[in-house]
Amino acid sequence: MLAELSNRHAVYPLYVRHGLRWEQAELSHLRRFLRALPVPRFPLHALTVLHLPARNLYGPHWSLNGKGVPGRASRDEAVYLPGRNLLLLAMASVFCAVRGIRTIAIGTLRGNPFADATPVFFRQFATLAVRALHFSETIVSPFCNLSKEQVIQRGRQLPLHLTFSCLNPQRGRPCGRCNKCAERQRAFQSAAQKR
C-alpha cells in the first residue's frame, strides 16, 4: 500500500505500538522494507512510531503473554484484538489533524471478519473524528476488496520477502506455527502458482 500510495501522494507511514508480542520483530521488518522500496514519485516521509500501551486494556491476553496463541488451523476470528482498528485510527486521526493531513489509509483486506474493519465503521469513525478534532479527514482502505494473495501479486516487484506476519515470533523470526504464519504461507504459495 505504501509503495502504491507514494507514487500518487506524499505518505507519512505510522506504526502504533501497543506492547504486543510481535511488534519488535514487525517493526524491524517494516524498517528494512521501507529502506528497500524503490524511490517513489512523491515524498515518503520517515516512519513515525506512536505508543499506546494496551496491557491495561487486554490484561492476560495471548497477544501480550504468548499463552494460547492461535495456531495454524485456527479461524481468523481467533486472532481478534478488541478495538484494534479503533485504537489505531484514534492515534492516526490525531497525528494527521495536528499535521494537516486529510487522508488516512489503512491496510484492511477482504475477508477481515471484524466489526472495526468495515467501510461503515471507517465512515462513522471519520465523522466522529471531525466532531472531536474540528478537522475533516477521510479514511480509505484501498485493499479492502483484495485478498492477501492479490496484494502479493500486485506487489510482485516489491521486496515482499522483507514483510512480516507472525503472532509469536522467536528471536525476530516467524514461528511458523501460528494463524498469521499459515495465512502468509498460503497466500505466497497461491500467488506463486498464479504467475
User: Domain 2-193 in CATH: superfamily?
Assistant: HUPs (3.40.50.620)
pLDDT of res. 195: 61
Burial (CB count within 10 angstroms: exposed 0-12, middle 13-18, buried 19+), residue 35: exposed
Is the distance from CB of 156 to CB of 123 less than 8 angstroms?
no
Domain boundaries, the chain: 2-193
Higher-scoring residue by pLDDT: 109, 4: 109
CA pair distance 28, 178, nearest whole angstrom: 19
Q: Per residue in 139-182, pLDDT tens? A: 999 999 999 999 999 999 999 999 999 999 999 999 999 999 99
CA pair distance 117, 109, nearest whole angstrom: 9
Is the distance from CB of 44 to CB of 6 less than 8 angstroms?
yes
Q: Per residue in 16-65, pLDDT tens? A: 999 999 999 999 999 999 999 988 878 899 999 999 999 999 999 999 99
